[in-house]
Amino acid sequence: MATRSMREATARTTVLPPLAEQNIADEANHRIANSLQLLVTLVSIESSLIADPTSLAVLDAIKRRIRAIGAVHRLLYRIGRGAIDLATYLEQLGYELEAACADPQRGRHVFVDAASILVPAEHAVALGVLVAELVANACKYAYPQGQEGSIWIALRSQPGGYCLEVSDRGSGLSGNLAGSGFGTLLVGAMVQRLGGTCRCRETRQGTHFVLSVDGN
């Protein structure tokens, strides 16, 4: 009898009203955001103690990725955990990435033209990390410092799935995506998680990354 009473008491203590659940979610979101910002600060402090250009470039890439992941986190928290409309998601993500990686005041913009496609939240997370990495790379490598230049994100539906393209009109990534670095591994991991195929080509008009996903 006592055991049953304890189980019932435990059950009662674990059932939270909606407001309490929301407060917990808000606190968790706040702590994650603070943790990501703390990581950026720690990396910045470490950067100030290093003079080696190669090491500084690596730390700079780490900071960009943390900021990009923070943008994905903030956006998904605002939208929720149900089915995600990729049109709304990518438009807002493009805005976040423009603020974090590009420089609108100097002619560096992120433009989004996306069809309305519904996917699970986990799928949107993988796509967001992928797009964030590609946009951050384009902002860093596609255009010479001080030169105007934008990045385009396009999403189109196709039979059984969709096609995503991230492109620029710069001088190319010069192997920064096609190499063997962490960025390449991250992009490959997200493509695999999405169950898609990808290709990246450089032309006179810049770099074009194309992801094709069958089914969502």
- SS3 at position 115: coil
pTM, full prediction: 0.69
Give me the count of residues in the chain.
216
Give the mean pLDDT of 192-200. Answer: 91
Lowest mean pLDDT among 44-53, 89-98, 146-155, 167-176: 167-176
Residue 34 pLDDT: 59
Please check the confidence at residue 175 and state whether its pLDDT lies above 50: no
Domain residue limits, the chain: 83-214
Tokens for 199, please give them. 């290709």
> pLDDT-derived band of residue 153, with 50, 70 and 90 as boundaries?
very high
CATH architecture assigned to 83-214: 2-Layer Sandwich (3.30)
d(CA 82, CA 86) in angstroms, rounded, equals 12
d(CA 135, CA 151) in angstroms, rounded, equals 7
> pLDDT-derived band of residue 212, with 50, 70 and 90 as boundaries?
very high
Distances (CA, A) of 186 to 65, 86, 87, 126, 191: 10, 21, 23, 10, 9
Give the mean pLDDT of 31-59. Answer: 71
